[in-house]
């Protein structure tokens, strides 16, 4: 009997295979409603789903992690879900080598949480679990090699495959203990539109476009089967409709080609579609992975016999469609951001940056430390956020426009700790728990020039710990900076950015550094790091999109003095109002006092320039001042 789903959850439906399945199945199951559940991990994009599908009343997008039980159960109940097609996984073998524990967290622990949600909900009739042919390990290269069947021994050759075997073990356990209606599909090597550019086909297409050198791991003789993604989608449709509960089905192809020959095919197809003569590829060997399976060769006879499925798309046709898709310009939406502290000076600049980049965002209404932690977590769990930006720091208050506001009695200590430490720490913890990328906008105002870091000498590096404790603000922010190092463990998606003396182009904003200093009569004339917000926030958002973690000095390279900033401004805007300031040198009594009591420093930007470069402070100011 053919199973007919009505309301379907597709996890990982913004990834490569998942998005292609969404596009395919929306037309194939024309009476079904679909909810696409995705946390937008590195290789995901909401725009991979066709515009026609996105605009359909039968399609919804729910941005959350599968381990977010509250959100998943709400989706199940509100949409009366009867079927789950589970793609969501950290599926890149190379990333799984580098961040093995995080791959276990995503592919095993989060998957178990999803199974628990299914068990609690109790109304799922079909659950299709997507596994991989890599669980079988290596196959021989001989012509007489027999394809691995569903009963073949499992022998994973990489950490990714090991996580998928662990997932399958939990499938068996939940089938046995709770009678969950699960069918497993072990998929072959798949190619097609929307694939992540670290994978070989899209990477080779990019090389072919510029006729560059093809980087080949090892010998390049590794054989791979090449299953077009629409054939895979048709196979999964057959698994769901005709598959037997508790069974495993291999979905693949007998068409094979080695990586070196693949490069030739792709170069020919790209040259043809760009209407230019074919040039043979040039190769460059790079170090192999620690262990690179030579061949994955599986039997699909069971699927052919019981599901009446086998691939129908030729390799040439599949590659033609893949290249055509890759050559089309595309809009990307890889984030949905929740902002905490979004109504302050820097928070408003963050909003402006996201609006300019057309990145959707929402302002959280719950306040950490004011509302109960449980209320904050409940809101965050259902905001549909893939990323959080914490801009909750306190720098001033009623009657005082500087950090001096935080000096005083216990009431000021409470406000300082709540807004400058507790809020960031709680959000980092909740984001880790819910599978959300967390960015904390901290400060560099916890460093000061000293004997090891004199003016013009070595700059404070990203890994350096705070050295300046001359104010209550810097003490608490310094503690928070160290606290963030706990959340910066390898693979944890926590980005701790240090900004200092934030400058924007909004002269009507009283918190803006530029708005202040153009009216000062005296200005310190020593070079200091500054954060030009339009530059640095763009870089920060780029890092968020790539889900980068760690501590980063987010300032423009090459320190500049406040006196020089105003001097540049007056040169470019000679008609601007305001006094010509007097320079205070570092060797004057006033300068020595400022050096001893303020967090004047230069922050090293080597890492920032490697990850997401920005212009030097002087270069940037010259460009921005000309536009005012």
Catalytic residues: 133-134, 160
Buried residues in 241-265 as b, exposed as e (16+ CB within 10 A): bbbeeeebbbbbbebbebbeebbbb
Which residue is associated with the tokens 């694939």?
Answer: 195
Calculate the dihedral angle through the C-alpha atoms of 558, 616, 511, 566, rounding to the nearest 10 degrees: 80
CA distance 23 to 10: 11
Q: Are strands 7-11 and 83-86 parallel, antiparallel or unpaired?
A: parallel
Name which of 252, 175, 171, 183 is nearest 3 in CA terms: 183
Sign of CA pseudo-dihedral 382, 385, 386, 391: negative
Sign of CA pseudo-dihedral 462, 463, 467, 471: positive
CA distance 543 to 439: 10
How far is CA 28 from its chain centroid?
31
CA distance 417 to 422: 6
Token pair of 165 as six digits: 């075997």
Gyration radius of the chain over CA positions: 28
Q: Give the list of residues 6+ apart from residue 410 with CB closer than 8 angstroms, or none.
A: none
Q: Give the list of residues 6+ apart from residue 396 with CB closer than 8 angstroms, or none.
A: 402, 403, 405, 511
Sign of CA pseudo-dihedral 191, 193, 199, 204: positive
Q: Where are the beta strands (DSSP E) in 123-238?
A: 126-132, 182-187, 190-191, 213-217, 223-225, 227-228
């Amino acid at each position: 009997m053919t199973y007919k789903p009505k309301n379907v959850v597709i996890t990982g439906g913004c990834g490569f295979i998942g998005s292609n399945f969404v596009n395919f199945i929306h037309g194939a199951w024309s009476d079904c409603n679909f909810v696409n559940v995705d946390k937008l991990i590195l290789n995901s994009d909401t725009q991979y789903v066709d515009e026609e599908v996105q605009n359909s009343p039968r399609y919804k997008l729910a941005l959350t992690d599968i381990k977010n039980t509250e959100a998943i159960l709400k989706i199940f109940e509100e949409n009366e879900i009867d079927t789950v097609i589970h793609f969501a996984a950290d599926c890149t073998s190379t990333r799984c080598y580098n961040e093995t524990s995080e791959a276990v967290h995503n592919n095993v622990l989060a998957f178990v949480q999803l199974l628990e949600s299914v068990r609690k909900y109790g109304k799922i009739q079909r659950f299709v679990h997507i596994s991989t042919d890599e669980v079988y390990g290596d196959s021989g290269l001989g012509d007489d090699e027999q394809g691995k069947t569903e009963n073949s021994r499992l022998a994973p050759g990489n950490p990714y495959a090991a996580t998928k075997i662990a997932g399958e073990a939990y499938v068996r356990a939940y089938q046995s203990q709770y009678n969950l209606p699960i069918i497993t599909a072990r998929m072959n090597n798949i190619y097609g539109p929307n694939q992540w550019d670290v994978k070989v086909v899209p990477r080779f297409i990019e090389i072919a476009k510029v006729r560059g050198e093809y980087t080949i791991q090892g010998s390049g003789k590794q054989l791979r089967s090449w299953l077009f993604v629409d054939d895979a989608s048709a196979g999964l449709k057959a698994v769901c409709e005709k598959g037997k509960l508790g069974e495993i089905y291999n979905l693949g192809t007998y068409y094979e080609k080695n990586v070196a020959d693949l490069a030739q095919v792709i170069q020919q197809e790209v040259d043809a579609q760009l209407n230019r003569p074919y040039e043979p590829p040039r190769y460059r060997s790079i170090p192999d992975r620690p262990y690179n399976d030579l061949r994955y060769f599986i039997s699909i006879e069971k699927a052919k016999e019981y599901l009446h499925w086998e691939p129908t798309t030729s390799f040439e046709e599949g590659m033609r469609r893949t290249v055509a898709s890759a050559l089309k310009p595309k809009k990307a939406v890889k984030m949905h951001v929740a902002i905490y502290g979004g109504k302050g000076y820097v928070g408003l600049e963050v909003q402006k940056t996201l609006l300019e980049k057309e990145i959707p965002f929402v302002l959280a209404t719950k306040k950490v430390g004011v509302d109960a932690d449980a209320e904050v977590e409940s809101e965050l769990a259902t905001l549909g956020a893939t990323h959080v930006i914490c801009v909750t720091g306190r720098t001033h208050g009623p009657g005082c426009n500087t950090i001096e506001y935080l000096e005083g009695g216990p009431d000021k200590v409470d406000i300082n700790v709540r807004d400058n430490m507790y809020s960031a720490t709680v959000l980092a913890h909740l984001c880790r728990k819910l599978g959300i990328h967390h960015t904390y906008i901290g400060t560099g105002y916890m460093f000061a020039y000293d004997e090891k870091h004199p003016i013009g000498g070595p700059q404070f590096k990203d890994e350096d710990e705070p050295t300046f404790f001359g104010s209550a603000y810097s003490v608490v922010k310094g503690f928070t900076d160290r606290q963030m190092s706990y959340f910066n463990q390898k693979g944890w998606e926590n980005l701790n950015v240090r900004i200092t003396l934030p400058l924007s182009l909004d002269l009507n904003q009283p918190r803006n550094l530029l708005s202040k200093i153009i009216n000062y009569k005296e200005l310190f004339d020593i070079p200091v790091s500054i954060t030009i917000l339009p530059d640095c926030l763009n870089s920060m958002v780029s890092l968020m999109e790539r889900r980068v973690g760690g501590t980063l000095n987010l300032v423009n390279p090459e320190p500049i003095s406040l006196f020089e900033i105003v001097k540049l401004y007056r040169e470019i805007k000679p008609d601007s109002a305001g006094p010509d300031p007097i320079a205070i040198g570092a060797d004057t009594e006033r300068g020595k006092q400022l050096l001893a009591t303020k967090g004047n420093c230069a922050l090293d930007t080597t890492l920032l320039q490697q990850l997401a470069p920005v212009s030097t402070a002087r270069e940037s100011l010259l460009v921005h001042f000309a536009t005012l």
